[in-house]
Structure 1
Amino acid sequence: MVRAIRGATQIESDDRDAILSGVTELVTEVMSRNELTTDDVISVIFTATPDLTAEFPALAARKLGFHDVPLICASEIDVPGALPRVVRLMAHVETDRPRQQVQHVYLRGAVALRVDIAQ
């Protein structure tokens, strides 16, 4: 089955190392909590709020071994009052887990975005 997994994290600052560190943590948690390998991943879409421009979030996934996984980065819409410095992801994966057992991952300040599904 194909499932979509959501995740997000708030990054400390618009700094290359901070972005790579935060996204590495997010991707690692998504993979670990859902017992996935890169072979299970079909594709990943990353978005970043407009205040994060120092690095592409997908680079962190490449450094984790996502060499043959299609990745794309996009800018999140600039909604007034939205949580700043947030990277989101949507991973499309092959898994036998029922939809109810998929673990969506929200870290740091991004927990406030989806308290209904954050684990």
Structure 2
Amino acid sequence: MAVRAVRGAITVPENTKESIWEGTKELLVEIVNRNSLKNADIISAIFTVTHDLSAAFPAVAARQIGWNDIPLMCTNEIDVPGSLEKCVRVLIHINTEKTNAEINHVYLNGAAVLRPDLVK
């Protein structure tokens, strides 16, 4: 079994706990569904948020959907002038038999501009 990484991102409408948590849950559920993941497959996840999202930790949303024994970390995205705003990103490490080419990365809402080649 190999260790692989799944990327994802979503933009949220506002800097509130509810918006950050709901957007993060939507993103994580979509990543899990598109990659047929079980919690036991997930090694860890690193979340980043843009400078304009400070109302909540996205990792709380992961806990709300049952990721209770998975190591999680949150940090700030680099504040590059002109970059996408109100964006939550995630890098999830998984155990899988899939190749890198078979991994489904997920970019939702305004985050689709980050990787238009991967948007489904």
Q: Identify the TM-score tier after normalising by the shorter chain.
A: over 0.9
1:30 CA displacement: 0.4
1:116 CA displacement: 1.9
Q: Percent identity?
A: 46
Runs of 5+ unmatched residues, structure 2? none
1:85 CA displacement: 0.2
- Aligned position for 2:37: 36
Hey, what's the Cα distance between the residues in 2 that align with 1:110 and 1:60?
A: 18
Hey, what's the Cα distance between the residues in 1 that align with 2:106 and 2:92?
A: 11
1:92 CA displacement: 0.1
- Aligned position for 1:22: 23
Runs of 5+ unmatched residues, structure 1? none
2:52 matches 1:86: no
2:44 matches 1:61: no
RMSD: 0.6
Hey, what's the Cα distance between the residues in 1 that align with 2:93 and 2:8?
A: 12
Hey, what's the Cα distance between the residues in 2 that align with 1:118 and 1:102?
A: 13
Provide TM-score, normalisation by structure 1: 0.98
Provide TM-score, normalisation by structure 2: 0.97
